[in-house]
């Protein structure tokens, strides 16, 4: 069993839809949680960063962490075609050297 599980998709939604992306994990030591966005043939870029449990909102994006369930989510409101990318969850216990990535979910937002 992988330490971090992420549904690879692909996921297609119409423009304006609410998108929910999820990851589960098994290591209870993880306390730093990230979502990276990766456009095709590009490097990932950090989208959201959360420490411990709770919610964090940034514009149309909301990150949720439920440590009791070992489950994290990224919600995208009013999705746009420019949101079409692969979304990678990532988490660590204490340092970037220990960062563990999910396999990524490929999202397409149709105009």
Partner 1 sequence: DGGITQSPKYLFRKEGQNVTLSCEQNLNHDAMYWYRQDPGQGLRLIYYSQIVNDFQKGDIAEGYSVSREKKESFPLTVTSAQKNPTAFYLCASSIQGSTGELFFGEGSRLTVL
Q: Which is closer to partner 1, CB of 39 or CB of 78?
A: 39
User: DSSP strand E in the chain: where?
Assistant: 4-6, 11-14, 19-25, 32-38, 45-51, 54-58, 61-66, 71-76, 85-92, 100-101, 105-110
How are beta strands 32-38 and 19-25 bridged, if at all?
A: unpaired
- Tokens at 64, concatenated: 């949720």
Residue 40 Cβ vs partner 1, minimum distance, rounded to whole Å: 11
Residue 32 Cβ vs partner 1, minimum distance, rounded to whole Å: 4
Residue 8 Cβ vs partner 1, minimum distance, rounded to whole Å: 6
The 10 Å Cβ neighbour count of residue 102 is: 25
Q: Which is closer to partner 1, CB of 73 or CB of 100?
A: 100
Q: Which is closer to partner 1, CB of 19 or CB of 90?
A: 90
Phi, psi (deg, nearest 5) at residue 62: -130, 130
Q: Enumerate binding residues for partner 1 (CB under 8 A).
A: 2, 4, 6, 8, 32, 34, 41-46, 49, 51, 88, 90-92, 94-97, 99-104
Q: Which is closer to partner 1, CB of 33 or CB of 83?
A: 33
Residue 14 Cβ vs partner 1, minimum distance, rounded to whole Å: 26
């Amino acid at each position: 069993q992988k330490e971090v599980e992420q549904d690879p998709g692909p996921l297609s939604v119409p423009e304006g839809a609410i998108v929910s992306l999820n990851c589960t994990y098994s290591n209870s030591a993880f306390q730093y949680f990230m979502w990276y966005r990766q456009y095709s043939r590009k490097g990932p870029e950090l989208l959201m960063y959360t420490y411990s449990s709770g919610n964090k909102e940034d514009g149309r994006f909301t990150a949720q962490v439920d440590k009791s369930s070992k489950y994290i989510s990224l919600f995208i409101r009013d999705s746009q075609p420019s949101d079409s990318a692969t979304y990678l969850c990532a988490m660590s216990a204490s340092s970037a050297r220990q960062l563990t990535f999910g396999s990524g979910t490929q999202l397409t937002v149709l105009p």
